[in-house]
Amino acid sequence: MGQLKEDNRLLASLAVFRELYNSEKDVYGIISIFLADLIKIENLYSFSLNEITSKLNNTFEFEIPDAVVRTSLGRLTFLEKQQGAYFVKDFSNIDTHTFDQKRQTIQSNNETIIDNLFKFIETEKKVTLSEKDKEKISHSFCCFLLDVNNGDEYVEYVTSFILNREADIDFKQQLNLIREGVILYSGIKYNNNINDLGTWRTELTIFIDTEILFHIAGFNGELYQKLATDFLNYVKEINQKAQKKLIKLKYFEEVKNDIEGFFTKARHLIEGNERPYPNVTAMVSIINGCKSAADILGKKSDFYTLLKSYGIEEDNFRDYFNPNNHKYNIVSQDIIESVSKEIDKDAEPFLRFLNYVSIHRKEANSNNFENIGFLLLTGNSTTLKVAWNELMKDEGFVPMATHLSFLTNKFWFKLNKGFGKASLPTSFDIITKSQIILSKVLNDNVGAKYEELQNDYNKGKLTEEQAKARIIDLRNKVRKPEEIKNDTVNDVLNAITEDSLEKFIEEQTHFKIKAEQQQENNVKLIEQLETKRDIETQLLATKKDLLQEKLNLKDTLEKQRRPLERKAKKKYQNLKTLIGSIILAYYILFIVAIFHFTWNIMEQYTFILSIIPVVASIIYLLMTEQTINPLKYLKILEERYLTQTYDEFNFDLNKVSENDAEIGKLETEIIELKKASG
């Protein structure tokens, strides 16, 4: 039950934090009240700054910096400071009665909410929860409220429970109190000076990934677009107040390639009269209303125009593989293997952008959010898990990547917006957050079931008719966040938890009637031919997409390879210059000696020196049965320099060859498929 108590204590602390804000209107004043309570409970007559900070963070599950605690201690009139230590002058002046009452009331309310959550899950799953299960659920509930990414288990039940009670005003107020406490607390983390509120003063470049860019365009639904708009409005306000572009928004070249590939896939779907994966909401939004490839190109053009209107530009930095930046590289084979093991998938693709951010940050002060200079904004939960991995960031340091809510919260706090209803971002609302998370879980689940459906169809477990009907069924289950309401929560939860394929197959058995099979033989033969053509068309489109990916990879590898080849070539040129200089110096010295000592004296030495190479060549020929070939030797040295340079910067030449071979193979397969279908 230890984890349960810790989770509840943290949630209660954050809710009290928010309630005290109504009366104190000042974060230092709030923290001073927590400190006073701690000093009284622990009977602390004297302490150092480090001691009280550690006790504060351990007792209330906070992570508040020393600098903030120091200023807060200055608000306590019953303390005096002598030689770096703090002493309590009079314990009778410490009044924490109101604080204790608030905390106990909130903690009791939280316990009731969590108990009701346990009952809800037991009813839905028809099980009795063990104490271990309850700890996991409590942790998931706490992570959900705190915007932490390591509480995925039971999250569909947590969000369903909250949405089911959307009409309960007291319930919503209690959870929103905790959420708003989280916002205030987030403003303090990674910030040693919270006096300077109202303005942002430092430059920050935010690299945005594909999913967030699609949020901005509304491809993932209105609610995601509203969250992105809140964030963009704060960026605009910061830049307008500064009268210059302090916050810059960019996207990497690889993100541009990803976007191009996405629209290319959309064009193939339109041209081939195919249907997109039902869970890819953005793809459905893009092709919706499009009748031709020209319509897709129009939407792509509008998308880039929208990004430009918000000042979002492609990153033009091209020195990520420059040797001078090698020391800022955070990726190694050991890191890849360790992180891959923890996330149970290949971590390398998720590390690439984090590594780019590290190269930009160089030696920036990463324990203060306003001094980091560069940050990745992502909607990918795996990337966030990797960024928060202990191997990727030191304790108390700002991670390389974060999510939309965190940045919005940070800017809201820094701009000193306050809790007036008109100024609250959409992300603050607990119902909104529940809709977003449940929608994502549902759509990911639909995607997994769609892949299962394809596998079963390919193995012959489903007829074509069953597969088509099942696809329609899956497509109808997909929901954007704004489409999930309290009256549809049970349907959504059932869609996530049911073994739907098995259930669907059982429901469809009445279609297999023997009498109809005999009559439909000819029709089925035609359908099989059409299905074959459909499969060939889909396979061709897939091969083309894969070819484009390989060509993009080839382009990226070439961009990595070129600076390395230039470096190796420079080493080789230096070697040739050295050899040439030695030979030239040798002959100049010899000629000077002839003029200085006269030919009569130097003639015998000339003969001896000229015969040495001949004798050496004969000996080498007899020993190796090969003649000395300077050009061949130089070529070997050139290749050696190139290989050494590749090894120095971990450039895998085999990957280039393998990729080229795969490109050739794909091009051949595409030609053969076109011939077969033509």
Chain segment 298-307, per-residue pLDDT in tens: 999 999 999 9
Confidence at residue 306, expressed as pLDDT on a 0 to 100 scale: 95
> Could you give the C-alpha distances from 555 to 51, 253, 356, 608, in angstroms and in order?
55, 11, 18, 56
Residue 631 has pLDDT above 70, yes or no: yes
Confidence at residue 654, expressed as pLDDT on a 0 to 100 scale: 78
As a whole number, mean pLDDT of residues 212-224 equals 91
Residue 600, C-beta contacts closer than 8 angstroms, at least 6 positions apart = none
Percent of the residues in the chain that have a pLDDT greater than 70, as a whole number: 83
Residue 424 has pLDDT above 50, yes or no: yes
416 — pLDDT class (breaks 50, 70, 90): confident
Confidence at residue 515, expressed as pLDDT on a 0 to 100 scale: 41
As a whole number, mean pLDDT of residues 132-151 equals 82
Q: Mind listing the pLDDT tens digit for each residue in 298-345?
A: 999 999 999 999 999 999 998 888 888 888 888 888 888 888 888 888
Q: Of 155-164, 217-226, 253-262, 656-665, where does mean pLDDT reach its minimum?
A: 656-665
How far apart are the C-alpha atoms of 12 and 28, rounded to whole Å? 19
Pick from 321, 263, 273, 182: which is nearest to 534 by CA? Answer: 273
How far apart are the C-alpha atoms of 211 and 209, rounded to whole Å? 6
As a whole number, mean pLDDT of residues 422-431 equals 73
Residue 22 has pLDDT above 80, yes or no: no
Pick from 435, 541, 450: which is nearest to 486 by CA? Answer: 435
Which residue did the predictor score with more confidence, 435 or 214?
214
How far apart are the C-alpha atoms of 15 and 19, rounded to whole Å? 6
Q: What's the residue count for the chain?
A: 678
Pick from 202, 120, 126: which is nearest to 163 by CA? Answer: 120
Residue 518 has pLDDT above 80, yes or no: no
Q: Residue 377 in 3-state DSSP? A: strand
H or E element in which residue 316 lies:
none
How far apart are the C-alpha atoms of 353 and 376, rounded to whole Å? 7
Q: Where are the beta strands (DSSP E) in 104-232?
A: 204-208
Residue 507 has pLDDT above 80, yes or no: no
Is residue 276 within 8 Å of 284, Cβ to Cβ? yes
Residue 513 has pLDDT above 60, yes or no: no
Confidence at residue 150, expressed as pLDDT on a 0 to 100 scale: 60
How far apart are the C-alpha atoms of 266 and 296, rounded to whole Å? 7
Report CA dihedral (465, 468, 470, 474) to the nearest 10 degrees. Answer: -170
431 — pLDDT class (breaks 50, 70, 90): confident
How far apart are the C-alpha atoms of 310 and 325, rounded to whole Å? 30
Strand order in the sheet with 85-88: 46-48, 85-88, 79-82
Q: 494 is written with which tokens?
A: 């059932």
How far apart are the C-alpha atoms of 427 and 144, rounded to whole Å? 13
Residues facing 402 on adjacent strands: 377
Please give the full DSSP string across 22-82, using - where no structure is assigned: HHH-SHHHHHHHHHHHHHHHHT-SEEEHHHHHHHHHHHHT----HHHHHHHHTT-TTEEEE
Q: Mind listing the pLDDT tens digit for each residue in 521-573?
A: 555 655 665 666 666 777 777 778 787 877 877 777 777 677 777 777 887 78
How far apart are the C-alpha atoms of 260 and 275, rounded to whole Å? 19
Confidence at residue 310, expressed as pLDDT on a 0 to 100 scale: 94
H or E element in which residue 376 lies:
strand 374-377
How far apart are the C-alpha atoms of 101 and 106, rounded to whole Å? 9
Pick from 25, 64, 10: which is nearest to 178 by CA? Answer: 10
Q: Give me the chain's average pLDDT, please.
A: 80
As a whole number, mean pLDDT of residues 400-406 equals 89
Q: Mind listing the pLDDT tens digit for each residue in 356-380?
A: 999 999 877 677 788 889 999 998 8
How far apart are the C-alpha atoms of 238 and 311, rounded to whole Å? 14
How far apart are the C-alpha atoms of 331 and 317, rounded to whole Å? 19
CB atoms within 10 A of CB 656: 17
Residue 393, φ and ψ in degrees, nearest 5: -150, 145
Is residue 120 within 8 Å of 165, Cβ to Cβ? no
Q: Of 45-54, 211-220, 221-230, 583-592, where does mean pLDDT reach its minimum?
A: 583-592
128 — pLDDT class (breaks 50, 70, 90): very high
Extents of the domains making up the chain: 2-163, 207-229+247-404, 431-512, 524-677
Residue 511 has pLDDT above 50, yes or no: no
CB atoms within 10 A of CB 74: 13
Rg (the chain; Cα; Å): 34
> Could you give the C-alpha distances from 9 to 107, 185, 219, 421, in angstroms and in order?
7, 15, 39, 27
514 — pLDDT class (breaks 50, 70, 90): very low
Is residue 426 within 8 Å of 432, Cβ to Cβ? yes
Residue 411 DSSP class: H
As a whole number, mean pLDDT of residues 607-618 equals 71
Pick from 525, 656, 641: which is nearest to 573 by CA? Answer: 641
2 — pLDDT class (breaks 50, 70, 90): low
Residue 499 has pLDDT above 50, yes or no: yes
How far apart are the C-alpha atoms of 32 and 617, rounded to whole Å? 88
Residue 502 has pLDDT above 60, yes or no: no
Pick from 616, 591, 588: which is nearest to 606 by CA? Answer: 591
Pick from 92, 154, 102: which is nearest to 129 by CA? Answer: 154
Residue 241 has pLDDT above 80, yes or no: yes
Q: Tell me the one-letter amino acid at 232.
A: L
Residue 347, C-beta contacts closer than 8 angstroms, at least 6 positions apart = 335, 336, 339, 340, 386
